[in-house]
Amino acid sequence: MGAILVQHEQVACPTREGKMMNLGSDAQHRIEAYLTRLRRCLRVLSDEDAREIVGELRSHITDKALATGEATTTGVDTALATLGSPEELASEYLTDALLARAEVSRSPARIIVSLFQWASLSLAGFFVLLASITGYLLGILIIVPTILKPFHPQNAGLWVSRGSDGDLAVSLRLGLGGGAVPVDARDVLGWWFVPVGMVVGCGLVMLTTRFALWCARQYRSSRALPPG
Amino acid sequence: MKFGGSRDQEESDKWEIQLRKGCLELAILAALRGGKLYGLEILKRLESESDLIVSEGTVYPLLTRLKSLGLLRSEWVESDAGHPRKYYTLTAAGKERAAEMASIWERFSSSMSKLLAPHGKAK
């Protein structure tokens, strides 16, 4: 796998050998190990984008290491430390890509796919993914019965009933056959359930998208400056 | 009391960070107005000329984003050091955006200076 990646890079940067004369092989190895990790985190981007990013960072790290006057592992380590871990760096590229993609399409499916990638790299991404899945699921759970209401008017909708113990029970029914509505249950919204449910459900989906993008933006700007 | 003091300090630190972050995009576009530069040169210019201490791990993704927005164009150029470097230039849209942001900045900063000046004298 590593060999394949290195081979790829050679296409992007045909004069890699020139740099090798300046940097020791240990230093080279460290750079490649870092870039391989980065590349793995960026696999969801297009091949060309990932190659550009990796090539640019290789050039940056080499320049930084050579500038310290130590073309050794120490110089490389310093350069790598100021860049942050490959996972952190990849998170920034991925949240950027998520925001850029969202400008083209706000489809929840695409957002969830992007969030999965982000979640695999950072805890922040994981929580945003969890919250977004919850938001979208709730939204869909409300939208589905509004669509089914015309077909199963006696079943789909928002029902209130008094249980055997006297407690008031509110239930949202999908209308997908299944359990019958209790005899004493009252259809709270009646046909109003269709427009109200549609607005609430779609609103929830839209809010979730906004929330996910807001989080990505917050994450992005929270990392604009070096810590401390 | 001491607690309140450090909280104030924290708040103004936060504000300063937000302010600097907000300027980063303009700073990068402005740095490129003089001609093409590669990532490390942009970073050095930001540090030496603008006192904007930025994280390296942020500038590169930002450059990629500005490029995908069509504000920058990039090309690989062979260097004396023996490896290629990725140079960025402003596109026509980038120049336009830089000019637009610069004029907003000038208007904003001069009106803020006006507002702050009497207060400064009184002190």
For residue A32, the model assigns a pLDDT of 94
CA distances from A123 to A110, A126, B56 (A): 20, 5, 22
Chain A environment of B39 (Cβ under 8 Å): 56, 59-60
Select the residue of A18, A22, A96 nearest B61 (Cβ to Cβ): A96
Select the residue of A14, A63, A88 nearest B40 (Cβ to Cβ): A63
Chain B environment of A58 (Cβ under 8 Å): 83
Sheet holding A186-187, edge to edge: A168-173, A157-162, A186-187
Q: Which of B87, B75, B81, B38 is nearest to A18 (CA)?
A: B81
- Report residue B17 CA to chain centroid gap: 12
Answer whether B53 sits within 8 Å of A226, measured CB to CB.
yes
For residue B33, the model assigns a pLDDT of 92
Mean pLDDT to the nearest integer, A135-157: 88
Mean pLDDT to the nearest integer, B67-85: 90
Give residue B5's pLDDT band: very low, low, confident or very high (50, 70, 90). Answer: low
Distance from the B13 Cα atom to the nearest Cα atom in chain A, whole angstroms: 10
Cα gap A72→A28, rounded to integer Å: 9
For residue B19, the model assigns a pLDDT of 79
Answer whether B53 sits within 8 Å of A58, measured CB to CB.
no
Is the CB of residue A69 less than 8 Å from the CB of residue A75? yes
Is the pLDDT at A16 greater than 50? The verdict is no
For residue A118, the model assigns a pLDDT of 86
For A179-200, how does the pLDDT look when each residue is reduced to its tens digit (9 = 90+)? 667 777 778 788 888 899 999 9
For A79-119, how does the pLDDT look when each residue is reduced to its tens digit (9 = 90+)? 899 899 999 899 889 888 888 777 777 888 888 888 888 88
Is the pLDDT at A154 greater than 50? The verdict is yes
List the single residue in A with minimal CA-CA distance to B52.
A225
For residue A126, the model assigns a pLDDT of 92
Angle, CA of A27, A30 and A32, to the nearest 5°: 110
Is the pLDDT at A173 greater than 80? The verdict is no
Distance from the B115 Cα atom to the nearest Cα atom in chain A, whole angstroms: 28
pTM (predicted TM-score): 0.71
Distance from the B118 Cα atom to the nearest Cα atom in chain A, whole angstroms: 32
- Residue bearing tokens 């942050």: A84
Cα gap B38→B77, rounded to integer Å: 9
For residue A90, the model assigns a pLDDT of 92
